[in-house]
Structure 1
Amino acid sequence: MTTTRAEPSPVAAVVFDMDGVLTDTETIWDEVRRGLAAQDGVPWPEGATEAMMGMSTPEWAQFLASEVGISGDPAERTLEGMAARYREHLPTLPGAVEAVQRLAARWPLALASSSARRLIDTSLATLGITDRFEVSVSTEEVARGKPAPDGFLRACELLGVEPARAVAIEDSSNGLRSASAAGMRVIAVPHEAFPPAADALALADVVVRNLDEVTVDLVAGLAAGRERP
């Protein structure tokens, strides 16, 4: 008896990260948080920047208070600083808007971000791509931030798509771990200033140099039912 192997399921949706993928704001987050530490006269711990990438707002606020020693309300102070910087200038990564437009013409899109809701809404509106995303999820709206899979799983749930049939586009170590833990196909777009750890990058199905390489053909080729090597 011959057993026929099932064909891979087609990709049904794409879920973008925001900071470090669409907007070049990872450096701004770092500058604002380090600025708070300087204001409070406390040193910046080694590894603190990388540790907070992907954390939810309550998680990184707690980290700033307990591990860095930021006084007052670290979340509100940070978000005020970020909003002020965004009003001055919101840096966009090359090819970001074009990649969103390109993939939105083929699949439903979602956003799963570690940013606060107000920063997500401001960013998408500033870039003029709010209507390209059917849903967006902030880690303020799920139980755990990245590297836990909660944000990606919620985005897939809202889209009505199985995670195994969705493709995530991420840049950071915690983001790559989160998308992989959710059972999604993963495209890594490493950020030059904050490259992901080797073990996290190894979780990606494909690594690209920039968003111009994230084509419809590339995403469609990540048929989600396939066994990982």
Structure 2
Amino acid sequence: MRDRAQALLIDLDGVLRRWDPAPMITVELDYGLKPAALLETAMSWDIYRPAVTGEITDAEWMRLVAERLPIDGDKATEAVARWQSYRGEPDPDALAFVREVRAAGRPVGLATNATDRLRPDLDALGLTAELDVVISSWEQRVHKPAPEYFQRACELIGFEPKKVLFVDDDDRAVRGARSAGLSAYRWSGPQHLPYLRKALDLPG
């Protein structure tokens, strides 16, 4: 049996923040783009990696996305701006869990691959005060699932890896966390919250 975790690291996108696909779909329809063109272009590794490791800003990343879209330059810039104006919303189940963990005296850290837009997003979503620490790949200059990322995350939250539970919706990140010595769980929704509560030895 592993020791019970004493701290929680939780991912942002796909866990603590959820996205309605409708705004992106609307933009793609309005500008004659194929389905998922915006996201697929943005996630191209040669521009995504520098965007989440502090090599380029979020604005520079989005400019590169616009340049690669198969439409007129001004329209591409406009399409990207419209897409990016929607910043998602907190997932109520994940947020309630974060609050429960903190109420039990366990620190909660956000562990996410992100750009320099992360802090303003957290403020706009009302999440800044819900977290004890934020571990951003852009600020740390290293991204999940690198072991160095998880080492730094554990240092910042103040516990050795075996005392930290990591929750993410990405299998690669979960595997990376486990390799770094953390307990890690793949989030697919709130149905397994009872298990996560036990992993953190929460009261009740």
TM-score between the two structures when normalised by the length of structure 2: 0.65
Does 2:200 match 1:220?
yes
Structure 2 letter corresponding to 1:152? F
Ranges in structure 1 where 5+ consecutive residues have no aligned partner:
1-6, 191-209, 222-229
Gaps of 5+ in 2: none
Q: Percent identity?
A: 23
Verify: 1:111 aligned to 2:117, yes or no.
Answer: no
Partner of 1:207: none
Distance 1:176 1:163, change over 3 A: same
Which one of the candidate residues 68, 77, 97 is aligned to 2:95?
97
User: How far off its partner does 1:104 sit?
Assistant: 1.4
Match of 2:3 in 1: 9
The answer as to whether partners of 1:56 and 1:114 remain within 8 angstroms in 2 is no
Whichever residue aligns with residue 218 of structure 1, its letter is K
Q: Secondary structure at the match of 2:156?
A: helix
Q: Which has the higher helix share?
A: 2
- The one-letter amino acid paired with 1:84 is S
Work out the CA distance in 1 between the residues paired with 2:5 and 2:80. Answer: 35
CA distance in 2 between counterparts of 1:178 and 1:56 reads 20
Paired residue type of 1:111? L
Q: SS of 2:110's equivalent?
A: strand
> Is residue 160 of structure 1 aligned with residue 161 of structure 2?
no
Q: Quick one: which amino acid aligns to residue 122 of structure 1?
A: P
Letter matched to residue 12 of structure 2: M
Give SS of 2:166's match.
strand
Give the direction of change, closer, same or farther, for the CA distance of 1:28–1:94 in structure 2 (3 Å limit). Answer: same
Whether the 8 Å contact between 1:57 and 1:139 is mirrored in structure 2 is no
Q: Matched residues in 2 for 1:150 and 1:105: separation?
A: 29
Distance between the aligned counterparts of 2:92 and 2:150, measured in 1?
A: 24
Contact 1:95 1:212 (C-alpha < 8 Å) held by counterparts = no
Alignment-derived partner of residue 205 in structure 1: none
With normalisation by structure 1, the TM-score equals 0.59
Change (3 A) 1:162 1:78: farther
Local SS of the residue matching 2:114: coil
Count how many residue pairs are aligned between Structure 1 and Structure 2.
182
Read off the aligned partner of 1:174 and give its amino acid letter.
R
* 1:26-46 C-alpha deviation (Å, 9 max, x unpaired): 9589x49x96xx8999x95xx
CA RMSD in angstroms, aligned pairs only = 4.3
Deviation sequence 1:193-218 (CA, Å, 0-9, x none): xxxxxxxxxxxxxxxxx235324633
Name the counterpart of 1:18: 12
Residue pairs, 1:80-91, within 5 angstroms? 83-86=84-87, 90-91=88-89
